[in-house]
Structures are given as structure tokens and as C-alpha cells.
A = this chain, B = another copy of it.
Amino acid sequence: MTITVINPNGSASMTKHLEQGCNDMVLSHHTLEFQYCANSPLSIEGFSDGAAAAHHLADYVKHREQSGMYTAGYVVACFDDTGVDAAREYVQCPVVGIGEAAMQFASLLGSSFVVMTTLQRSVPIIERNIERYGLRHRCAGVFASNIPVLALEGKPNNYDKMLTVSREALSNRFGEVLVLGCAGMSQWQEKLQEDLGVPVIDGVKSAIKIVAALSDLGLNTSKALSYAYPEQKHESMP
């Protein structure tokens, strides 16, 4: 079966990069497809980008399900886990955000992790998620590299900047694992892991593996309450 990776932003180029990065993944039962949300902002940097992207992502999932294009599960490829809750209401299959996936895996490999993300304005949004996921005591800090999402693919010296930021963060906060705080950083997972000497987690591949696992085990989104299908609306007649 297919696992659908949706990039909630509107960047075709970034989505292509994500797809290339997953070329080498071996999945026994599943194949991958990659989508993006054409009407979304090109990158998700802050609350207003997030609100637009959440809507477009949920809308994409809704129309797809309504047209019967079922999938084994969705991976939402933004570290803010944009629109994950909304998407879950429209489906029965699992929907997993790369932020929660990455931080779950990080929790299994060390006592504490640090997150390196793009801009400082994304830090409060990620910290809010960390709080909600209950991982505040596990996360030794969220740090900005000050490289915008769309610049991640570009300049080669960005790597050095990221290496410096994450090395200092790990050292100052006694972090034991590094979590990549943006889907666009996936490409550097291997190199960073080698250079830093600690596990480095890429949420995209982590979430794909988790969706595959949930699918294999027959575990679906609970339709009992929070993620029940949306209500039918009936304007009351006075």
C-alpha cells in the first residue's frame, strides 16, 4: 500500500528534495508518494503561515478521502505538525506529524535532546508542541540556526552554521540527541550524525516508519471522540 507524505507548504522544489531523500528507504509493504499544498505559503514560518497551511492540508486530505483515494496513512512533513489534528478527523488511517515522530524517537535514545530549527520565530511554536506532547523535561532546548526554510537547500556554508549551532546547544545543555527541526534539513542528517557523534533524528523518515508500523499492526486513528468525523451543521430555525 501507499503511504502519503504531504508537505503542508506550497514548495514543489522542497517536496522534490524530500522525495529524493527518501529514495533509499526500504519498506517491506509500502510505497511512498509525495504531495504538497499548492495554495499554501511557500514555507511555514510562524502562526499565520501555519494557519493557512493547516487549512490547505486538511482540505487536501478531505477531498482525497471523499473521492475514495485511500492511503495507508499520512505523514505531515512540517516540524510544527501543522494541521495534523484537523486531518485526523477526515480519515480512519493514521496521520503522523514529523515533529512528534522525531521527538518520540529522540526520547528513546537519550535522556534529553535538543532541537535545531530555522528561524527564532518558530521556536515558541515548537515549544508549545513540546509542552503539549509532554516532552518539556526531555527537551534541553530549541535553537534557531537563523537560516530560513527556503534557504536551507541553497548555500553550502549553511551546513557549517548548523553544525556550530547544534554542537554548542548539545554541549551547553548536556543534550544527548539532536532533532532536526525542519523537514528541509533531512538531507544533512547523516553528515551531522557523523560530525556530532550523537544520534541525529530526521522526522520525515521517522514518521514514515511509524505510519508503516501502525498500518502493519492494524492501528488506526480513533474515531471515538476528538477525531470523530466532522459534525453535520444544521442552522436552527427560529
Identify the A interface with B (CB < 8 A): 11, 13, 25-29, 41-43, 45-52, 54-56, 58-59, 62, 83, 85-90, 94, 96, 100, 104-105, 107-112, 119-121, 123-125, 128, 131-138, 148, 150-155, 170, 174-177, 190, 193, 197-199, 201-202, 205-206, 209-210, 212-214, 216-222, 224-228, 230-231, 233-238
Q: Are B46 and A230 in contact (CB under 8 A)?
A: yes
Chain B residue with the shortest CB-CB distance to A52:
B55
Instruction: State in angstroms the CA–CA spacing of A125 and B184 once bound together.
Output: 30
Q: Are A110 and B199 in contact (CB under 8 A)?
A: no
Q: Are A222 and B123 in contact (CB under 8 A)?
A: no
Q: Are A109 and B225 in contact (CB under 8 A)?
A: no
* Minimum Cβ distance to chain B for residue A162 (Å): 15
Q: Are A199 and B219 in contact (CB under 8 A)?
A: yes
Contact sample, A vs B, 9 pairs, CB 8 Å cutoff = A27-B28, A43-B233, A48-B62, A51-B55, A55-B56, A109-B221, A119-B231, A121-B226, A128-B132
* Minimum Cβ distance to chain B for residue A54 (Å): 4
